Amino acid sequence: MSERNGFRNDLFFSRTNDFLNIYLPSQAVRSACTVKTYLDGLTVFRRYVTDTRKISMKKFRFSDCTHDFLLDFMAHLRDRGCKESTCNNRLAAVKSYLWYAADGDVSLQSIALGASRVPFMKETKPIRETIPDGACAAMLAAPNLQKKNGLRDMAIMVLLYDSAMRVSELLGLTLSSLYLDAAIPYVRIHGKGDKERIVSLTDKTVAHLRTYLSRFHVEGCPDKPLFYTVIKGHLSAMSSGNVERIITKYADQVRKEHPEMPRRPGPHMLRRTRATGLYQDGVELELVSRILGHSSPQTTRIYATPSMKMMQEAMGGSIGGMPEEEPLWTDNEDELARICGLR
């Protein structure tokens, strides 16, 4: 029987080192993050084999990695409280490794095929919270406009909501990004992928911005950050943490009257709320996608939650054993794992 890294080629972990350190990064050109995910998955599987099933790495063969064995592995992960997505990542690592091994050894193809038939767990879609209309309106109206910072906070929240921009895009705006005197006022946004887009602004947002500019941008410097902080005389763009705190502050203020206010609202929830509202108001998904700066309307579909009215209207319409051989390594499973490129 031929050997690899001191392991017989029929042993399951005989090729993990090459898979993780040569094939994935160099031949498959996978990212370091992907390689780490596969390493984590195979390491968890190794510990299941050696620690839970009490099978030495020197004895666990490819042929032992049966359909039922992998089903038991998945059940073990669930019993430990792993999320469906985590379980699926672990299984995907094992499946990918088996196909890699089978590509170099045709006798392993039936094993890889059997593993491929182990189903992934159905993942529960995360609940993407939005801010209910009444709570959102109350929060946007909460700042005290008699105070300078109240004017700033109002401008930040209203602009975030009206334009549905990302917080990073908001903080990248300068005074020259605003076109409030155009026939149809708009803001020019520098978004992901170095792409620019323009989004029109409502009259109410324009009015709040004009009031804000009259107090915070008296000198009219076009390259000055639209929203900024001054610390020890140094002016810089406001941080995303500050924007988070502003939104949290006013959400907390109105929560007593609006207990439906989500526990942790933030800039992205404002964006999601606006996008969902546009869709439910009948705006075409492709246009919502352009407003959000998505490269594809498919990405925007996560916001396409139908309203009760929309649903109501829709419903109204229509291998054998191997001979024993002299072991080449000690019985230390941790050392064997290290040799195989695992942890």
Active site residue 80: no
| pLDDT score of 311 | 61
3-124 CATH choice from 1.10.150, 1.20.120, 1.10.3470, 3.30.980? 1.10.150
Q: Out of 78, 147, 192, 309, which one is annotated catalytic?
A: 192
| pLDDT score of 307 | 59
Q: C-alpha angle 83/87/92, rounded to 5°? A: 145
pTM (2 d.p.): 0.57
Q: At what angle do helices 109-116 and 84-104 cross, to 10 degrees?
A: 160
133-315 CATH choice from 1.10.443.10, 1.10.10.410, 3.30.70.20, 1.10.10.10? 1.10.443.10
Active site residue 4: no
| pLDDT score of 321 | 45
The whole-angstrom separation of Cα 296 and Cα 245 is 31
| pLDDT score of 334 | 77
**Which residues of the chain register pLDDT less than 70?**
1-7, 126, 305-331
Active site residue 15: no
Q: Out of 78, 80, 245, 268, which one is annotated catalytic?
A: 268
User: Encoding tokens for residue 157?
Assistant: 């929240």
| pLDDT score of 4 | 53
Q: Out of 46, 208, 274, 294, which one is annotated catalytic?
A: 294
| pLDDT score of 123 | 79
| pLDDT score of 1 | 46
The whole-angstrom separation of Cα 326 and Cα 324 is 7
List, in sequence order, the alpha helices (H) in the chain. 16-18, 32-47, 67-79, 84-104, 109-116, 133-140, 148-163, 167-171, 203-216, 240-254, 267-280, 285-292, 297-300, 308-316, 333-339
Cβ–Cβ under 8 Å, residues 112 and 99: yes
Active site residue 268: yes
Q: Out of 15, 95, 271, 274, which one is annotated catalytic?
A: 271
Active site residue 166: yes
- In tens, the pLDDT along 149-190 reads 999 999 999 999 999 999 999 999 999 999 999 999 999 999
Active site residue 97: no
